[in-house]
Amino acid sequence: MIPSQLVLRHIPKSEALINRSEVQRLITISEGWYILEKIQNEWIYNDLRFGLIAIDPDNPQFVFRYKLEENNGTITATEDRPDPSNMNAVLGNLWTRIKGN
């Protein structure tokens, strides 16, 4: 089944925190394919290489997403995984993408 329409969404790329060595390491790992955004007073680092998971069509999340927190002058990145109760939907969407449908 081929989708009837393509929906494009613009997500701004923030430059905040990019000079921090901890964030530079994430940028290197993601080969420069990232978005850094602030959501409800939290900094989120998204690795764009693996795309979005659209469990909730109104609020899709990137497959690899990290919350950035500063403690005692050091930024730590904690992986922010999708809600495990929705894992059947995640795997179903992934399987559909793998099949190319």
Task: Burial-class residue 76 by CB neighbours within 10 Å (0-12, 13-18, 19+).
Answer: exposed
Predicted TM-score (pTM) of the model is 0.71
pLDDT digits (tens, 9 = 90+) for 51-67: 877 666 677 788 899 99
Top-confidence residue, 89 or 44? 44
Average pLDDT over residues 33-40: 90
Average pLDDT over residues 34-53: 88
Q: What is the CA radius of gyration of the chain?
A: 15
Task: Burial-class residue 101 by CB neighbours within 10 Å (0-12, 13-18, 19+).
Answer: exposed
* CA 7 to chain CA centroid, nearest Å: 18
pLDDT category at 27 given cuts 50, 70, 90 is very high
